[in-house]
Each structure stands twice: as structure tokens, then as C-alpha cells.
Amino acid sequence: MSSSRRGLFRAAAEAAARAAAADQAAREPAPPPDPEPLLGDQEVERYSRQLVMEGWGEAEQVALRDASVLVIGAGALGSPVASYLAGAGVGRLGIVDDDLVELSNLHRQFLHFTPDLGQPKAHTAVAKLQFLNPEIAVEPYQVRLDEANADGLVAGHDLVVDCSDGFATRYAVNAACCRAGVALVEGGVVGLTGLVMSIEPGDSACYRCAFPEPPPPGAVPTCAQAGVLGPAAGVIGSLQALEALKLLAGMPGAVTDAFLQVDLARGEVLTVRTARRADCPDCGGLR
């Protein structure tokens, strides 16, 4: 056979093989399309350093994006809490604070800058948080949380982080979160000591289970009386933000049925176990 005839035969055979393959492909069901990515390109880039972490992935990131968190207080604890939650991608943040920015706030309340003096903290905080992450919604509530408005403020949120600085507010927040079944991260700092506690109402001890009665007025000094260093508030607020992320993402290890007692003068963190009390007026009736 001449080389030109052989070439013709080879071409014909290859064409037949291609036709057969195309016929086979047409009869086979098409492979399912790739699932829609849960996160957009910008989200993958913005959150890349947490997405690569062991124990954190798309599901955890989407849980944050779908979450609504209320931060009570935009001060020394609220600054790190709100910054870390906004940065991490919590989809909706509410910031509750009725104070105006004062010069004595600035050494520790880093969401407020010197040009913000005299402005409402809720609004100056929200402006910074939107600069930090324009992909999320942040809403200011320029009110003081009290027993009368606590239920309305807590409603509709998945989690509350209490960054207030008074016991009346703390007990009102705890009671409202128990009534609504909303998870709560408590925190407090004065001087170089602080406390952090996570609460899942009905499942773990609430703040009133651990501390049944508020201290008598004046028994615990305020930051105005005893002072506080900015980094000490930063440590406690950061621990609160971490607790919030664990609870929102369903990660293990949140500090429930216990509180952290942090002594930053000595560099010690003590985990103090606590438990639900059947006679707790806030959570005793919850199952």
C-alpha cells in the first residue's frame, strides 16, 4: 500500500473513532455542574487567613455571614469585640451605646479618635467598623440598655456580647438573653483584672447562676475610680470576641458552665467552674 493510501486509511479511522466517542458522550448523562461556591472571591481573599485554619472553613464562614450580633457598649471592651467580629465577617452587627466620646476614653477605646470628641460613640464606632469591613451591615443604637428596652434590643439577634460597665445593665442583659434564648458572652475589666463567661441559656449556667446577687453599690470600683490600662481591656475584649466566634461557628471549647478569672498583674488565668441553679430567677425555668 502506498504511503498516501495508508495516510487516508489512518485519517478515516481517526474520524470514525472521534465520531464514536462523540456518540458515546452524547448518550452518557452530563456530569453534574460544580456546586455554586458558598463564598465569593472577595470573601475568600478577605477571610483567607481564618479559612486556612484547621477547624475553620466555608461552613464556619457562612455561619458568621448569616449571624446577627448585638454588642452592648462601644467602649474599652466593645472596641476590640466589635472590631474583631466585623473583621471576621459577622454579617450584621448592632452597636448599643448612648455615651458621647470623651477625651478620657481614647487611651483604651480605640474605635474612637480625637476628632470624634463629643460625637455619639455608637455612630463613630459604626463609621470605623464600616471602613474596616464594608461587606457587612452595622447599625448604631444610641440608647442605654435597661430593663425596659432590653427585650426589644436583644430580639432578632443570634448572640449578644455584653461590653457594658455596670451591674444593672449586666443583670438586665442576662435576664433578657435568658428570656429570648439568645447566647451571651459576658465580660468585665477593671484595673488589671477581668472576667469572661459564655452563656447558652437553658444549656449552661447564666451570669445570675454564677453571681446570684449584684454586689452592693460601691463595693466594686469602676474604671473611673480604680483605673484600667488599655491593653488589659484589650485582652478581655479579645477573649470575648473569641468566645463569640466559637459560639457562632459551632466550634468546641467555649467557656460555658465556667468563667475565666484573668489576673493580668500576675499573668494568670483561672477557670472557675460553675453550674446552673434550679432556683435561678433568670434561667431556672428554661429546659
**Residue 84 beta carbon to Zn ion: minimum distance, rounded to whole angstroms:** 27
CA distance 73 to 83: 13
**Residue 56 beta carbon to Zn ion: minimum distance, rounded to whole angstroms:** 31
CB of 161 or CB of 283, closer to Zn ion: 283
283 binds Zn ion (CB under 5 A): yes
CA distance 237 to 239: 5
CA distance 1 to 236: 89
Q: Cell numbers for 199, please give them.
A: 452563656
Sheet with 137-141: strands ordered across: 137-141, 92-96, 68-72, 159-162, 183-190, 193-199, 258-263, 268-273
**Residue 81 beta carbon to Zn ion: minimum distance, rounded to whole angstroms:** 23
Number of residues that bind Zn ion (CB under 5 A): 6
CB of 92 or CB of 277, closer to Zn ion: 277
Site for Zn ion in 182-221 (CB under 5 A): 206, 208-209
CA distance 275 to 222: 27
CA distance 22 to 37: 30
Site for Zn ion in 223-282 (CB under 5 A): 280, 282
**Residue 205 beta carbon to Zn ion: minimum distance, rounded to whole angstroms:** 6
Site for Zn ion in 159-178 (CB under 5 A): none
CB of 97 or CB of 162, closer to Zn ion: 162
Binding-site ranges for Zn ion (CB under 5 A) = 206, 208-209, 280, 282-283
